[in-house]
Amino acid sequence: MFVYLDNSATTKPYNEAVDVMTTVLKEDFGNPSSLHTLGITAEKYIKNARKSLATSLGASEDEVFFTSCGTEADNMAIMGAAVARKHQGKKIITTAVEHPAILEPCRKLQQMGYEVEYIGVDSKCRLNMDQLEAAIDEDTVLISVMGVNNETGTIMPLKEIIQLKDKFNKEHGTSILMHTDAVQAFGKVPVNVKGDLKGVDMISVSGHKIHGPKGIGGIYVKKGLAIPAFIVGGGQEGHMRSGTENTAGIAGFGKAMDIAFGDFEGRIDAMAKAKARLYEAITSDIKDIVVNSPEDAAPSVLNVSFLGTRGEVLLHTLEQDGIFVSTGSACSSNKKGQSHVLGAMGLKHKEIEGAIRFSFSEFNTEEEMDYVADRVKFAVTKFRKLGSFR
Ligand code: PLP
């Protein structure tokens, strides 16, 4: 059996997304800026995809821009906010459990004299809202909090954070911006600027987490907010991000959004069913485990520590059975080191060492989950015997 449970690292592109990309690469390969029919045809793919991105976020088309990946969108938001608000203050508030795509630009800003406060989390990766509220001051220019954590699936209370920000701005006459890295939230939980995210200023998304291609992302920038462009040149993407457009990637991302948001509920339901089945089987059948994801996490992630084992060894044992999982964040620049997220959650060394992240897509079935639970139990038992655990 082949069971792919590493969907937070990346998803398998929808066939339809691959098909449209192939057509763009083979036939509709014109430069979208060219005036002839090939150019106009290429431009249409971008227009359609922009419409899909705007619609899925509840935004208007002139508020969304394609980038080369989620990381670029995150960098644009952090650095852009710092530059746009440079006369207003030098403090940024983020969390200790962000992706490196946020943490690294924040570190760069610290080197440039900014103060960055990293808000802590509890053992289920839930944000310390008291610390966050206390951190907001008149020197703050940006709050950046992810929508869904990539390692635990914890859903962050963005609505409440936006309310705190709006209240502070109103009372103090400040103009603090709010950004969310929605790379793991987009297509898994509602991410809508007319809904719960009303009042957000910037949102980052990525194509390959929702069955689109890798190397394409997007950013929402609220109308009227002037953040500077970092890649300047031919003025593509409304001068926000120059460079001849990755038309195939944009078209594939657009198609993926059309499919994913065309049946949002159905997809979520399928993920939730698979996750519930695996959760049930693992928690009832295997002793000495710690579930690191909160009960109300996104349906896409289940993080479990199997005490007395090493996640990395489990991962490779499961791989031999055709099961693909992760020990933590695959996108981490610090692949060999321990997860900074599980560390920030205060997990003990042995809990971090035995942690496995199962991450789901709508293609996972309950039958697959029974197989996975069986193989996990076998691997954990074998490993514990070898290591004389208990
Ligand atoms: N933000 C989060 C939360 C992620 O999980 C990832 C990728 O894993 C990224 C940002 C980076 O996105 P991309 O791979 O498109 O650069």
Give the pLDDT confidence of 191-207 residue by residue, as tens digits.
999 999 999 999 999 99
Q: How many CA atoms lie within 13 A of 153 on its CB side?
A: 27
Ligand 1 is surrounded, with C-beta below 6 A, by 69-71, 74, 99, 101, 146, 150, 181, 183-184, 206, 217, 331
3-state secondary structure of 323: strand
pLDDT score recorded for residue 328: 64
| Digit-coded pLDDT (tens) for 155-179 | 999 999 999 999 999 999 999 999 9
pLDDT score recorded for residue 329: 47
* Residue having the nearest C-alpha atom to atom 5 of ligand 1: 150
* Residue having the nearest C-alpha atom to atom 14 of ligand 1: 70
Decide: 210 and 15 in contact? Cβ < 8 Å: no
* CB-based contacts of 258, cutoff 8 Å, min separation 6: 52
Mean pLDDT of 35-50: 98
pLDDT score recorded for residue 387: 76
Choose which residue among 11, 99, 104, 246 to substitute to test ligand 1 binding: the one with the highest number of ligand atoms within 8 A of its C-beta: 99
Q: Calculate the average pLDDT of the chain.
A: 96
Is 331 tagged catalytic? yes
Ligand 1 atom closest to 181 (CA) = 1
pLDDT score recorded for residue 333: 43
Angle (CA) 68 125 375, round 5°: 85
Q: How far, in Å, is the centroid of ligand 1 from the Cα of 8?
A: 9
Ligand 1 atom closest to 101 (CA) = 10
390 or 239, greater pLDDT: 239
Return the H-helix or E-strand segment holding 95.
strand 91-95
| Digit-coded pLDDT (tens) for 367-379 | 999 999 999 999 9
| Digit-coded pLDDT (tens) for 243-263 | 999 999 999 999 999 999 999
Mean pLDDT of 55-65: 98
| 156/293 Cα distance (integer angstroms) | 12
* CB-based contacts of 294, cutoff 8 Å, min separation 6: 124, 125, 126, 152, 153, 154
**What is the number of residues in the chain?**
390
| Digit-coded pLDDT (tens) for 121-142 | 999 999 999 999 999 999 999 9
